[in-house]
Amino acid sequence: MESRTEFKIKNPPSDAISAVEFGPNSTQFLLVSSWDSTVRLYDIHGNTMRLKYNHDSPVLDVAFQ
């Protein structure tokens, strides 16, 4: 199995990424927060955006719970 350390995601944020976090049980999922006021959940294996949350101001950090 190939181990990758860089990914080019489809539908990236329109402004700078402020934080990233891989899922606690799998590196398949990646949370991304951005200065464009969004939090996005990506499926790295399928290279798809699963969810997008819009906020009123820039989002500076993310975490899985």
| Per-run averaged pLDDT (10 residues), the chain, 65 residues | 72 95 92 98 94 98 93
Question: What pLDDT score was predicted for residue 4?
Answer: 64
Using CA atoms, how far apart are residues 53 and 33, in angstroms rounded to an integer? 10
Using CA atoms, how far apart are residues 19 and 33, in angstroms rounded to an integer? 5
Question: Contacts for 53-56 with beta carbons within 8 Å, 24 or more apart?
Answer: none
pTM of the model: 0.85
Question: What pLDDT score was predicted for residue 55?
Answer: 97
Residue 52 · residue 9 · CB < 8 Å: no
Strand residue runs (E) in 1-65: 17-22, 29-34, 38-43, 48-54
Question: What pLDDT score was predicted for residue 8?
Answer: 86
Question: What pLDDT score was predicted for residue 20?
Answer: 95
Going from N- to C-terminal start, the domains of the chain cover 17-54
